[in-house]
Amino acid sequence: MLKKNKDSIDEYFDLADFQVFEINLVSNKWKVTENINKVFGVPKDFIWNFDSFIGLIVVEQREEIKEKLENVIKNKENEYSLLFQIQRPIDAEKRWIASKAKVICENGRATKFIGANVDMTEYKGVEEQIKEKNDLMMTFLQVVPAFVFVKEYNGRAKGTYILCNEQVEDMMEMKKEDIIGKNDFQINSKEDALYFLKTDNECMSSGEAIRSDLVIKRENDESVYYDVSLSPYSNVKNEIIGVIGVGKDISSWKQKLKKIADLRKTAENYAYIDQLTKVKNRNYFNVYYDDIAEKYGNGEAFAVLIDIDFFKVINDTFGHIIGDEVLKEIGNSINKEISESELAIRYGGDEFLLFLEGKEDSDIEKRLELLCQIINENCKKNQLLLEQCMDDISASCGYFKISNSKLLEKAVVEADREMYKKKAKRKGGG
């Protein structure tokens, strides 16, 4: 009976179309199917044993595979699985082999390996290509001057980072291993995480790329600005399951813009601000005339002309330094009393043009009366003016309602005429 079973096994090895082997560990005799010889590139009469088998494995793996097999025998394990590369003697071609076998033990010792091999070269080739492409992509991601990340919202993954480059580590001030596999709620503040979730959802729901500005506050209170582009990320079924983010630090660009804005503001300050009184100058009025007309030509604003009484006498009596000090106090008083939506201009010399909001003449009269009182009080508080023992500072005012934007110039002329009428009365004692 035993002999019959043995004959059937031998017959199976002769007929099998697989890479099947049986290794007697006691006698070191090997039985292999013809396919093993073909795959390993050895002749039919090749003598199989441990030394010849190890000799077929590529040099860099020989000691590793030998040690693994020795450990299997020593530890009397039930089975083993190996993946190794061989170099065929027939043509020097290298092939990847996956080997799995059952270990037969008798009387407390391993006596046989019975198993099969699978040629994995084709699969390993694909794997190597994928790895090569992944390595190439990661190399590209590391050298590209931008941060790149991929987040998945697939299944249980709710905004989980699955890929990022070193620039993301720098941006988040975290190591990659502390980022990958986590979502924004685990690594960012709740406020930031909610913002990222909102922008991610916006990108995925629209199916289109979006751009956003990101500001990150550092521990030293420094603000770092980033320009971020988000694109939807799809699986093989063309289902959107996440986002790909690409961005760069634009802090230096923002700083340059700020410098430009500051320089522009400084230039405008000299071009359009009267440096003595700190109100807008006549040049501003000329350049922005149309804008002023549109803003205040709505029937709810007045053109007002204010002229300091006896200002020439002040200059002639106390000198221009004192006259300039009076003008400073007037400009300061006006700037404090008008609202942000109103406008004050040094129209020329000691004459100021104001555009004040109001519907009724009585409203403007009350405001101008109060403004003249404030100017006088502020001049009296000025130590330099106080030392001159000056009389009260008074002003003559004229106003005219701007009925529409086309009549701005007429309103200014009429306000000026009204102001000079009052000034004439004051000089004549009327």
pLDDT at 139: 62
Cα–Cα nearest to 426, from 330, 277, 311? 311
Per-residue pLDDT at 4: 42
**What is the pLDDT at residue 6?**
45
Please tell me whether residues 178 and 279 are part of one structural domain.
Answer: no
pLDDT tens across 35-92, in order? 899 999 999 899 999 999 999 999 999 999 999 999 888 887 888 889 999 999 999 9
| C-alpha to C-alpha distances, 268 to 5, 271, 274, 317, nearest whole angstrom | 105, 5, 11, 35
CATH number at residue 78: 3.30.450.20
Q: Are residues 189 and 305 in the same domain?
A: no
User: How far is Cα 183 from Cα 166, in angstroms, rounded to an integer?
Assistant: 17
Neighbours of 291 (CB within 10 A): 9
Note whether 48 and 32 are within 8 A (CB): yes
Asked whether residue 423 falls in the same domain as residue 324, the answer is yes
- Domain CATH for 299: 3.30.70.270
295 and 365 part of one domain:
yes
Considering the domain architecture, whether residues 63 and 150 belong to the same structural domain is answered as no
**How many distinct structural domains can be found in the chain?**
3
Q: How far apart are CA 88 and CA 118, in angstroms?
A: 15
- What DSSP character marks residue 401? E
Q: How far is CA 227 from CA 17, 169, 171, 202, 230, in A?
A: 61, 16, 12, 17, 10
Q: Is residue 138 part of a domain?
A: no
**Structure confidence at residue 9 (pLDDT):** 44
User: Residue 268 falls within a domain, yes or no?
Assistant: no
The pLDDT score that the predictor gives to residue 79 is: 87
Domain extent at residue 175: 144-253
Predicted confidence at residue 252, as pLDDT, reads: 85
Asked if 350 and 277 count as a contact pair (C-beta separation under 8 A), the reply is no
Q: Give yes or no: residues 296 and 164 share one domain.
A: no
Q: How far is CA 417 from the centre of its chain?
A: 59
User: Is 258 a domain residue?
Assistant: no
Residue 94 belongs to some domain of the structure: yes
Q: Are 241 and 278 members of one domain?
A: no
In a domain, 128, yes or no: no
Asked whether residue 59 falls in the same domain as residue 176, the answer is: no
Q: Are residues 76 and 156 in the same domain?
A: no
> Based on the domain organization, do 196 and 225 belong to the same domain?
yes
Q: Is residue 79 assigned to a domain?
A: yes
Q: For residues 291 and 357, state if they share a domain.
A: yes
pTM metric for this prediction: 0.47
In the numeric block, which tokens belong to residue 269? 């300050």
User: Which residue, of 187, 218, 253, is where some domain finishes?
Assistant: 253
How far, in whole angstroms, is CA 228 from its chain's centroid? 4
Q: Are 351 and 416 within one domain?
A: yes
Low-confidence ranges of the chain (pLDDT < 50): 1-9, 11-17, 430
> pLDDT tens, 170-189?
888 889 899 999 999 998 88
Tokens of 284: 């501003």
Asked, for residue 277, whether it belongs to a domain, the answer is yes
Within-domain flag for 191: yes
